[in-house]
Amino acid sequence: MDMNRVKQIVSSPTDIPVHYHRVSVWIDSYNEQQQTAIIHMREGHLREKREVPVAELAEGNA
């Protein structure tokens, strides 16, 4: 995924599926300069946030 798409997804009122290594995640925020995103898993009770490279995110159903 690229940074422009990350920004579109974050600002969209629509629920857009995003995956990180085949795990469904929410994008909480992003750092355009470092090309990273802060994410957390959609499923389960773990709300641990991680900073990951935007290039490792994938849109759509895994």
Q: Summarize pLDDT for 6-58 with one digit per residue, the tens.
A: 999 999 999 999 999 999 999 999 999 999 999 999 887 667 899 999 999 99
Q: What are phi and psi of 49, to 5 degrees?
A: -95, 145
For residue 62, what pLDDT is reported? Answer: 60
Into how many domains does the chain fold?
1
Q: Which domain holds residue 37?
A: 3-59
For residue 47, what pLDDT is reported? Answer: 75
For residue 46, what pLDDT is reported? Answer: 65
Q: What is the pTM of this model?
A: 0.88
CA dist 11 and 43 (Å) reads 21
